[in-house]
Structure 1
């Protein structure tokens, strides 16, 4: 018999309350549970007997808090928390292979006790791939703020139901339709979903867009009115390394601001000091390379173009920059400031 089966509903409710706050006054906790102070003390003793480290605190009427025990006690999760933990476990091995075996064991334990209504969502989470973080933007990073006060292009919270629906559509090879708001405005899309990916804190869906009949990548925080159509499709061939393919598509894309930096140094030498950037770095012969930096933020382009130029300057190598005035002027100002430094 599981620990959960041994615990009546009142004890589970008490445990859930203890997990929501650092400390509870005894009278308030008894009122929330709907019992007397004496019954609350008995329930606390029962939790302790089940190895929950419930500690008594001082104050008027005394209080309680869930402390740290010698071993991890069972936890009480709501539906959304359980699915969130499942998604995190499913992506853990992609981020750090060292977690692979332990994450798989934990995911199997979670799936075993999960209510039947949540199991399809958890099973679908196994299709998620997470890219190890590189510390640079994966796609556009706009500088303007939207009406809500957050920067347009920054990651927004993704609804768990949306994740579950898209993951299930990927697994079941089911066409989905949605409204997508991109840099060129809103449009209706109908796609064959392939895979969910997480990169630099953002969620993406790789899919075959049936409109232009071409592969596309969509940001989940820009999708709305997602609907499973009920139409199935035969999955198309996919890249062997979806993370590398995603990053290559970002590197090849052009955004609002772009700078081309040519450096009279081997590509390997520049890449040693600038291992990643929003764009691409390519060799142009044995002693020259070119960097293309592109983003929807002029400040970001200036930052990375200056980083590439700094590698050349530190080695006395020639460097040229081709960019529009919004990028070129700040770079000239930076050069003048550094040149005037004693």
Structure 2
């Protein structure tokens, strides 16, 4: 017969693998008497495990959700943080992924009811970065609030900006919470800017209550990993992965443009001119981004980018004239 400590761990492991266990079956699996099973169950209860007796012809036992997390005690925020860490490990696909999934199941079985809903709405995707980067601490409550809005499809209202900068009020339809390169991000459709945005979670301060429910939009690229990979600059500095890519000539020196270009390719095109290749998730967004360089622009390719600039010009002209609505054009 195994030692008591080893037997208790084996009993606990069995209780975690299915909902109800007949006492006789437990005794058979552990190769002990039914009386020993009863004593071991009592020992586990003394350690804080909420094991309930199940009525029936053979009797039995069930590991229920408890008021604490035995045998260690965690506060609410620690329990949520543990769930997030396990989800990231499980989603990473590494060597510990399967163990993390088993640990998540174990955690869920003994999770207090007051936390079960908070953790149920936490769905995190881990996107593998090309290289390690600096971590940015995020308040667990912020992650929980963002994830809850993603789960319930409710418009998220939040102040956005770093601590030493003026924050702006944003309204967005939250789509997914991701972690990449040591930082947390919210992928969302920005209602005021009418485009997809990726927000750093450590710069988000949620406002309550949330806005109305919405029908989720299709994410550009088809899946969250493709979107995030395209959003951040690749290790080779190219714009690969963007569905809309264009090339223009700017009346600015290449060295000056390169200082303000986090993504894309900048090439010399003369003493005071450069060729810029850039990508975005929409032609309208790409045209607006290039216009921010505040220089004369010559479109090289493709025709869709020329059309986007014409659409942007209409909007700007109407805004300057106080008409409010630009001429309707079809944009992809």
Task: Give the TM-score of the pair, scaled to structure 2.
Answer: 0.49
Task: Give the TM-score of the pair, scaled to structure 1.
Answer: 0.48
Structure scoring higher RCO (CA < 8 A, sep ≥ 6) equals: 1
